[in-house]
Structures are given as C-alpha cells and as structure tokens.
Structure 1
C-alpha cells in the first residue's frame, strides 16, 4: 500500500470501529503527522488577572503603601529570587519553578492602552493590538505558517479548544474543533449521531485532498467517530485535578494529548479574574481562583508524565489591574501583567522581563504597572521552539519580532 492509501484506509478504520488495536491507532496517527514534540497549550485568564498580587514585588515599598488592605505580607509570599514571590495560593507552582520547568514574565502584556475587556481580549487573541479588522487568531496563523515551512498531513484534531465554540485565538483557515466534553463525546455542542462512519468519512476525505479529513465548525461528525475510537477517557489521570470546570478542562486536554490524536495546539480559558470588589489578600476571591488555577496546571504537568517535556504551556490575560486598590477592596482595570510559561524546553526558575518599578513616576498613566515586554515576544519565542512557523511576521503582523525574539523564556 502506498502512504496515501494507508492514511485513507487506516484512518477510515479508525473512524469506524472502537475495536482497532492500539498499536495500529498509534501507527496511523504517527503517519498523519502527530508529532509529540509540537504541542502548545494556551490558557486565557478572562477578566484581567491582578499580576501584582499573583507574582508579588515584595521588595517594593510602594506596593504596600498603595495596597494597605489587599497586599500580600512579605512573610506570606513564596520567595522566588529575593525580589519577587508567588501568592501563597500558588503553592502548586513553586516546585515547578524550583525544578526549572516554570518561567515567569512580569510587566508583560499588550501595548494597546484600552481598558475594555472586549477590545483587549480581541486584540490579544488576534495578535494585532489596536487593529479591529483582523479576522483570524494568532495561533491559527502560526499553524498556517508552520504548513508553509513543514508540509505534512494532519488529523482533524490538530487544533482543539475545550469549550462550546472555537475561540478567537484559533479562528482562521486551519480547521479547529471545539470539544465541550469528552465524557459525552460532544463536539461543538453536538453529540455523535448514528450516521454510518464509513460513508461520512469517505465524503469528508474526498473533499479534503491530501489530508486525512477536514473538520470545522459544527460539521464534525467524522471527527467524532475518530474521537470515539481513540477513547481519550481511557487514560485515567495520574494526578489529582481540582474538582472544578478548569480542572476538568486541563484533565481532558491531557487525555487528548495522551490519546495521540495528532493535537498540536490546545486552548482553554478560565474566568473569574475581574476583581473590582472584595479581592482579598492571602485569602479571598483571588486566592481561591489562584489555588484552582495552579493546582489544575500542576496536575496537568504531573499527569503528562514523560510526555510533559514535549509540551509548552503559556498563560495570558487581557490586562492587569491598577497598582492602587480601590475603595471597595478590589482593583480596577490596569495595564501590564504577568505570564507563566511551563515546559520541558523552558528556561524556568527565573522571573524574566525588565521590571519598571512602582514609584509614581514609573507607573503607566500614574496608575498602572508599566509595560516593558510585548506579550507577542513571549509567544514568538514559544512558537519558534515548538511549531516552528519560521515567519513570525506572518503570525504577528506589525510586531517586528525579528527571527529570534529576545525575552529568553525558551
């Protein structure tokens, strides 16, 4: 059999039966371009997380004077390098940082000055801050650019989002699938139908040329059959995930990766970061969110086992919070923030980026942490070392990142 016939018939069998031997499943998917060395997981913290209380500049006197009620006491922070410390609710991150797997970038974010959640999220996900006409997302463009440089075949699960619909980050020419729940095998809000797998797969394959098949939007019944056959739920977690929506999303991403379905890019988001009121300090609203956030990511890393080194995970939020607390025990919309990067090739155990300081004259517009690192520089480095798009200008038009971004995270 030639390669194309094998791909066609092998994937057809995979889509049509749950009894296919696991060695053959892996063989078919390996031929389809399932490269375990090219896996990127993106987490979006929707609502604008408070970077100053997440990674605390505990040597800054102004930090404490500007936040008399919500600052994290110096004795409570988890020291990182003598200048910064983690919020105590991020205890699950400390071993990852100490082992050199977790890197932090502070004073990072979008150069656009908007304080609108909607606009800021749109700009960060499109990768074109200040430009509203962009119709695709930066991660989709990275996959497009990868194809230009590395031509290979892909499965329908190349780009996956855990959620009800494909996010802005993954919108574009490369087909992406939104998985609501692996346990119910729901894709894009629909459950697998009784349509015969063979005829449905033949139809999709015939329309997709050299690829195994193409799936986008709600037309994913054949991808559903493939998902059923691979049965990611069979991979029992090797770590204790939080019993939360985000914890479940991270567990399902791990199951998808372990099922060797050909996933290269996975996305999920987590809300609850808009802390205008009653933010709390060591305990409270933000602490509860951070505890769940870090525990789920740490469990994911442990769960991936030996494959963890082939995954790069990056977090982001649309903007940070004001340096001063407000009158209701919270913080308002700010500017620069913090990003976490976790992975086998990450230069972890460091707080990267240029720290601008918290003196009044150092603040953005006299109220926010100033921006010193464009978030696209961080993403550019991650993509260069993972998907290898080659042309970063095609991924982040106008960012002028050059061939090698210089943050030094990976």
Structure 2
C-alpha cells in the first residue's frame, strides 16, 4: 500500500484547475486514493476523433465504378485508373477507392488493422451542424435533453478506480462527448496546462487560471492541504520535458492541431498516468465550395487526418494490443456537386476504426447504387448504419462495456461485425 503523497509524487500526475470551492472534488478524491500497486496496470484505451464540419465520405472512400456518382460529380469524381497525368484513387476491393491523399492508410487496411464503415450516420435527419454533433456526442439522436455525453457514460461503465487522467480531451474546451457526472478533463496543451471543465460538474465551470497564479494562491488559504499536494504533483509533471517529447523514430506527426493533439495523447499514454478514453478533433470539413480533387482543401484535410493517425499508430507500437482509434463526423455531403465546386450538407458518410482487435481490411456497411430512387430525399447517400451500432460495438468489444441501455439509451440495435468476434 502506498500513501497519498507517495502516490502523487511517484505517479507524476498533474491535477488541473480550480473550482469556486477549491480543488474539484474528483481531484481531491484522486489525491486520497490508497491503492495497492497495480493502479497503473495497463488497460484498454479508446481514442475518438471528431471530424467537425461533415466529411464527404463519398470522396474519402468512393464507389468509383458507380455511374450515377460519376454523372453527379463531373468536376469532383476521381478514377482508380492509373494514367500519366492523374493521381488515382487507391483501389481497396474493386468497388471502393481510398482518396490518394490518404495513402498512409493503405498499408493499415491491407494488414487488416483498419476498417471502414460506409453509409454510417444518425437516424435523425437534421442537417444542422450544431444539432447533429450534439446528437452524435450525446448518443441520443432524438433527445436534446440529454445532459451527458456517450463517452462520459462509457467512463462510468468501466467499473474500476481511476486516476484524474482516465478521460482526457486534447481540446480547448470540454467536448459534448465528455459532459456528465464522471470526471474528465480538457487540456489545450500539456506545456501550459490550460484546462476547461465546462459541462462537467465534477470539474469546474470556471475558466482555469495559469499554473503560476493558482499555485501562488496556496499561501492565501484558498487551497487546503489536499490542494497543495495536488499542485506539488502538478509541479512534478511540469518538470517533465513535454515540449521536447521524442516520438518513436519512425513516427512523423504533422505540425497541425490534430497531429499535435495525438502526439500529446501518445505522451500521456507512455507516461502511464491511467488514460483510458481520449478525445481529439479535426476541423474544416464543411466543403461547400472549391472542394478540389487530389489537391485543395479536402485533400489537405484527409492528408492531415490519415498522416496524424498513422503517426500516432506508429508511435504507439508497444500499445497496439490495447489501443483502438475511431473517427466520427456528424453527417456526409450531397451526392451531387453544387455550382461552386463543392458539396452541401447531406446524410451518410464513412468512418475509420483502427486497432488489432478490428475486423479490418473491409469496407463494412451497405451502400447501394447511387440512383435517385436509392437516395435519401432524392439527394443524399442514405444512412444504412446507425452510428450507435458501431460506437456500441467498439465500446463493447474493446472497453468490455456491456450495458448499451446506459451507454445509448433507447437504442436496441446490434453491432455490424466491425470488431473481431462482433
């Protein structure tokens, strides 16, 4: 058994933030943990990445032989045929082609570590970014009154003691997915310990102050002994050279928001501070105009997404059996291109799931020929896989959570086999 102080000092935990009444309750509880060795026993880790703005799944993973798609997108359609002057789609299975800017995903797909689900989306047909993201992150697509996020509920179902780093979002504010009663933190940057706890009552709704400001307040009595020890732990982590973190030799992260977020998640995992559920996000997917083909805004976005995830996977070689990465986006884009070289708000898109426990090398889901009679509202790729079928299967098989009534209230669907044994 170890003492509270020894736990904090040896674990190297940084306890962030301050509420109106002092250190948030869950941090004080963590400081009081008295655990036998094994608190940091390796556990499964889920990393969720939200692509905000609605990714065009039909461009990321195109059914390249579909004559209706070819007719609907004369300026955006790409071919899988290799010619001297084109950058072709990567033929995955004779039907679907991966965008060439996602070439770093090809080997993961061929190794059967990467799975794609096409035709995935919400049963709620809203085309509002705000509402669709809210429904997907709450996990209740027909209820706006849900106070918690599905990832927060997942944390609550893990069923074991945790460190303050059990659920971490590498974002500037708390994502809707982490709202709820279970402790979770949002860290903007490991170097400056910026944190927001809005939406998490076990944290704080008050914007956090700088490390130095908070630590200086210990002398005023604002922080009690537990808070002082928490900040001692915070100083311990602050002494770690987070700024000059060296990934594995073959891992090259893009110098982008997503790349930097995943690099910091990798760092937290390697520090063994108890991380089990991580969240990051990628923006810029709302491609209403000048979407481009093998160059342009969409190509840049998928390059960043695929290279960031691939670098993270390479960096995490020693953790592959414990790690699953899953992307999500609120909806897809219209089948037909618009008059400004882009696509508008649609319905279904696709997502990517990476891990050793994934039933990879397959484009899962049901995508019918894109004839007008098969389109939702005569214009969109139909949602044939409810996002909850995939999210719940990943949680069930990877995190060993088996309470879908709590995880996704009102949902009675089943998995689609995207995880091995699913």
Q: Which band: TM-score by shorter chain?
A: 0.7 to 0.9
**Partners of 2:13 and 2:393 in 1: how far apart?**
40
- Out of 160, 181, 186, the residue aligned to residue 168 of structure 2 is 160
State the match for 1:13 in structure 2. Answer: 9
TM-score, normalised to structure 1, is 0.86
Are residues 1:170 and 2:178 paired? yes
Are residues 1:266 and 2:278 paired? yes
Contact 1:45/1:271, CA 8 A, preserved across alignment: yes
Shift of 1:16: 7.9
State the match for 2:51 in structure 1. Answer: 45
State the match for 1:209 in structure 2. Answer: none
Contact 1:67/1:325, CA 8 A, preserved across alignment: yes
Are residues 1:252 and 2:264 paired? yes
- Out of 66, 75, 100, the residue aligned to residue 69 of structure 1 is 75
Contact 1:115/1:334, CA 8 A, preserved across alignment: yes
**Partners of 1:344 and 1:9 in 2: how far apart?**
37
Shift of 1:73: 2.0
Shift of 1:102: 0.5
User: Per the alignment, do residues 230 and 399 of structure 1 end up closer, same or farther by CA in structure 2, a change over 3 Å counting?
Assistant: farther
**Partners of 1:223 and 1:106 in 2: how far apart?**
45
1:362-401 equivalence runs, <5 A? 362-401=374-413
Shift of 1:386: 2.3
Contact 1:109/1:319, CA 8 A, preserved across alignment: yes
User: Per the alignment, do residues 104 and 196 of structure 1 end up closer, same or farther by CA in structure 2, a change over 3 Å counting?
Assistant: same
State the match for 1:353 in structure 2. Answer: 365
* Mean Cα deviation higher: 370-379 or 70-79: 70-79
TM-score, normalised to structure 2, is 0.83
Contact 1:51/1:338, CA 8 A, preserved across alignment: yes
Matched residue SS, 2:115: strand
Equivalent residue pairs, number: 378
Matched residue SS, 1:114: coil
Contact 2:360/2:418, CA 8 A, preserved across alignment: no
Unaligned runs of 5+ in 2: 15-33, 82-87, 197-207
Unaligned runs of 5+ in 1: 19-27, 206-212, 214-219
Shift of 1:244: 1.2
User: Per the alignment, do residues 224 and 364 of structure 1 end up closer, same or farther by CA in structure 2, a change over 3 Å counting?
Assistant: farther
1:7-406 equivalence runs, <5 A? 8-14=4-10, 31=37, 33-75=39-81, 76-147=88-159, 152-188=160-196, 190-193=209-212, 194=215, 202-203=225-226, 224-225=234-235, 227-228=237-238, 235-238=245-248, 239-401=251-413, 405-406=415-416
Contact 1:35/1:264, CA 8 A, preserved across alignment: no
- Residues 363-410 of structure 1 show CA distances to partners (whole Å, capped at 9, x for unaligned) of 0110000111111111111111222222111000011136xx233334
User: Per the alignment, do residues 231 and 264 of structure 1 end up closer, same or farther by CA in structure 2, a change over 3 Å counting?
Assistant: farther
User: Per the alignment, do residues 201 and 361 of structure 1 end up closer, same or farther by CA in structure 2, a change over 3 Å counting?
Assistant: farther
User: Per the alignment, do residues 41 and 82 of structure 1 end up closer, same or farther by CA in structure 2, a change over 3 Å counting?
Assistant: same
Matched residue SS, 2:191: helix
Shift of 1:261: 0.8
**Partners of 1:367 and 1:375 in 2: how far apart?**
20
State the match for 2:205 in structure 1. Answer: none
Shift of 1:315: 0.2
State the match for 2:417 in structure 1. Answer: 407
**Partners of 2:233 and 2:369 in 1: how far apart?**
50
**Partners of 2:38 and 2:240 in 1: how far apart?**
14
**Partners of 1:94 and 1:289 in 2: how far apart?**
17
Contact 2:397/2:419, CA 8 A, preserved across alignment: no
- Residues 328-375 of structure 1 show CA distances to partners (whole Å, capped at 9, x for unaligned) of 000000001101000111111111112232111000110000111111
Matched residue SS, 2:400: coil
- Residues 198-251 of structure 1 show CA distances to partners (whole Å, capped at 9, x for unaligned) of 99685269xxxxxxx9xxxxxx85773464366555641111111111111111
Root mean square deviation of aligned Cα: 2.6
Shift of 1:196: 9.1
